[in-house]
Structures are given as structure tokens and as C-alpha cells.
Amino acid sequence: MTATTLERPSARTVRGHWIDDWRPEDREFWDTTGAPIARRNLIFSIFSEHIGFSVWTLWSVLVLFLGPAYNIDPAGKFLLTAVPALVGSVLRIPYTFAVARFGGRNWTIISASLLLIPAVLAAFLIQPGVSYTTLILLAAVAGVGGGNFASSMANINAFYPDRLKGWALGINAGGGNLGVAALQLVGLFVLAVFGAGHPGIVAGIYIPLIVLATLGSALYMDNLTQARNEKRGMRDAAREGHTWIMALLYIGTFGSFIGFGFAFGQVLQVQFAEDFSTPVKAAYLTFLGPLLGSLIRPVGGALADRLGGARVTFWNFVAMAAGASIVLLASQLRSLPLYLVGFIALFIFSGIGNGSTYKMIPRIFALKNPGDAHEARRLSGAVIGIAGAIGAFGGVLVNLAFRQSFLAYQTADAAYIAFIAFYALCVFVTWAVYLRSSGRKLAGV
């Protein structure tokens, strides 16, 4: 299929929603044909991913409804939020493969429709007297929402030229991340209007939204033939040292964001029990951090486009270590205002770092494969899947760190010290690999 036929809207696809000719690095093609198609796919990708994030983080809100009638202690609740984070992180690998196997549009339809399973189950099965095993299984099923991010990012990465990837991936991820804050606002609404006795309403609200996301993907998204033909990308990416370095850095950014998103409400209720005696009081604050962290993620991508991803990531980890230090100090002083300032700073900087690290990935492989845009895109799409999976596992580690800290010391201070040490490690790795002058340095990451 030629670019000329692509310029006619009625002929831009073949075999339904498949696009055979896609050349985003060609400025003329992009300006006349590519940009509107990419923008439309981005919009519906964001919507589907947004709902996926909401379903994935359902249990960050549902645990607030599990009062004395459910007989679950704080350690048990932290486990309920760690389980979907774990399942979601594992699913990100096959979800990335799925884009190449089925096509971005086709897999978005499938992955969106799968969200109905955890939403319907949670809407009807969470009642006093339900076994803890059943709750663990319901939480695990919600993990399917975590896989959507990897397939969505790999798909959008293929649509945009290298010069716009930081912005596009930042917008896509930020819109998806907003699902965490949106869910917590839904939880606040249900708690305020219906009370803590109706957790199923939270999940039920998302059922029609999931249907809309599925229909929107089917009607308005496209598959790229070239993305489907990018074989063995995951295998080749796994052999690249930069893949594992970026996965480590993404644990620090996205792992922090999703881990804190799952845990924030519980930490407030346990650490400052006198200030948050009811779930609704905690819910008034829990949405703020994820909201700001999500909104600022595209800023991180845009700053990385302008200043360089490695430079932004380096200083961002410095800021995250400072934010965690403020939280630790506030915890020891029992200062709720200072605690909130530090925690919200952590959300904001994790959002900026999410954008800057994802900008680094396509840039690294563009520099390693000069003149071969297809190879750079093939590897960067695979690395996005690997880094996204391992980064999401960081959310599990955050919740387990909080759980162990409370079990061993009755405070979260040990967890905060671990976070500071990890951010310091990320500062050093970013400098040593991407900023330090050396003969092996990839200039311009």
C-alpha cells in the first residue's frame, strides 16, 4: 500500500483496521497522514488504559471498606493490595507480546473486555463473612488491569516518531495513571454517599465504562502491520544490558508511584489512626498524590525531550530521596502536615520520573541503531514491556516493605529508610551509565 492511498481516509487501512504503510519518521507522511491517525489511537488507548489502572488498583480502595466485620488486620490488608500488583506486573510481559501477536487494536479490545471479570466479581462477592482466601483470589483477578499499561505503551510507541515519543508516551501513561486517582475519588463518593457497607458499588460503577472502552477500541483504533512483524523483540531485548538498567530505574519511579498508590490510604489509617478514625477521612486525601503524579507525568516526558532523559531522571531521583527523607522525619515527629508534604512530593517526582525514564528507552535504542528506525522501534517496544513489568513489581515491594515494617516495628520508618537507600542507588546508576564521561557512554540519552 502506498502513501498516496493512505492519504485517502477510505483507503488508509486494509483488511479492516490494519495499516500496512506507516512511516512516522517521514515528516511529510507524518504531517499529512500520520499525526491524525496516531492522535486518534492515542485517545482511545488512554481511555482503555485509564480504566485498566482503575480496575488494577480497585483494592487500594476496597480495603478501606473492610471493617471489623471482615476480621482482617493491617498486615492482611497490605497483602490484599500486594497481590494485584504482583499479578499485574507478571502479566505485563505477555501483554507486550500480545501487541505483536494480535495487533494493537485487537489486543486492546481483548484486554479491555477482560476487565469485566474482576469488576463483576468484586461487585457481587464482597460481603461480610466472605473468606480471606476468596478475597485474595478476587484481588488476584484484578491484576489483569495492570497488564494493559504494557501493551498500550508498546502500541503507542510504534505510532509516534522518535522526536515525539517522550510526549506521546508521557500523555498515554499519564492518562492511564489518572485511573488510580479517579478510582479513589469514586471510592470517596461511595463512602460519603452509601457508607462503608457497600464496596460492590465501587466495582459496579466501572462495568459500563469497561464496555465503552471496549467498543471505542473496536471502532476507532488501528493495528500496524509492521508492529505485528517485529518478531523475537523480547528475546533480543533481554540480552541488552540497558534493558535491565532501565528496569531498575523504573522500579524507582513507577514502582514507587503504583506502590504508594496502593498503600497510601492504609498507611495513613495505621500511622495516624487518631486523625483518620474512619475510611472516609483517609479517602479525602488518598486521591491527591496519584492525581498530581499522573498529571505531571507528561511534563516529565516533555522535559526529557527538551533536556535529555538521563539528566531529568538523575535529578528526579535526588528529589525523591529528599521527599522520602521528609516523610521519615515527619513520621518520627508525628507531624501529619509535614508527612503529607513529603508523600505528595514523592508522588509528583515519581510521576516526572515515569515520563523521563520512558523517554530514555526509545532514545537509547535509536542511538544504538543509527539509521535503522525499525530495529530501534522493535527493541524499544520490547524493553518497554520488560521494564514495565519489573517496574510494576516495585509496587509489590513497596507494599511488602510497609507490611514488614509495621509487623516488626509498628511504624513504617524502616520502609522509608529502604526507599531512601534505593533512590540513592538509582542516582548513582543513572550518573554512572548515562551521564559520566566515558568511552562507552551513549551521548544524548
**252-304 confidence digits (pLDDT tens):** 999 999 889 888 888 888 888 888 777 777 777 888 888 898 888 888 888 98
Cβ–Cβ < 8 Å for 296, 319: no
Quick one: cell of 298? 507528561
Q: Work out the pLDDT band at 11, boundaries 50, 70, 90.
A: very low
Is the confidence at residue 306, as pLDDT, over 80? yes
Please, which residues have CB within 8 angstroms of residue 144's CB and are 6 or more apart in sequence?
Answer: 52, 55, 56, 87, 88, 91, 111, 114, 115, 117, 118
* Residue 421 CB burial class (10 angstroms; 0-12, 13-18, ≥19): exposed
Work out the average pLDDT over 146-153.
Answer: 88
Count the Cβ atoms, other than its own, within 10 Å of residue 197: 13
Rounded to two decimals, the pTM is: 0.81
Please provide the average confidence, as pLDDT, over all residues in the chain: 88
pLDDT at 419 (0 to 100): 96
Please tell me the distance from the alpha carbon of residue 42 to that of residue 30, in angstroms, as a whole number. Answer: 15
pLDDT in tens, 320-372: 999 999 999 999 999 999 999 999 999 999 999 988 998 898 889 888 888 78
Please tell me the distance from the alpha carbon of residue 416 to that of residue 420, in angstroms, as a whole number. Answer: 6
Count the Cβ atoms, other than its own, within 10 Å of residue 274: 7
Work out the average pLDDT over 209-236.
Answer: 85
Is the confidence at residue 7, as pLDDT, over 50? no
Please tell me the distance from the alpha carbon of residue 340 to that of residue 342, in angstroms, as a whole number. Answer: 5
Burial 322-342 (b: 16+ CB within 10 A, else e): bbbbbbbebbeeeebeebbeb
pLDDT at 2 (0 to 100): 41
Q: Work out the pLDDT band at 12, boundaries 50, 70, 90.
A: low
pLDDT in tens, 74-131: 888 889 988 998 999 899 888 888 888 899 999 999 999 999 999 999 999 999 989 9
Is the confidence at residue 219, as pLDDT, over 90? yes
pLDDT in tens, 370-381: 878 778 878 887
Cβ–Cβ < 8 Å for 230, 381: yes
Rounded to 10 deg, the angle between the 200-220 and 104-114 helix axes is 160
Angle, CA of 216, 220 and 221, to the nearest 5°? 100
Q: Work out the pLDDT band at 9, boundaries 50, 70, 90.
A: very low
* Lowest pLDDT segment from 148-152, 380-384, 386-390: 380-384
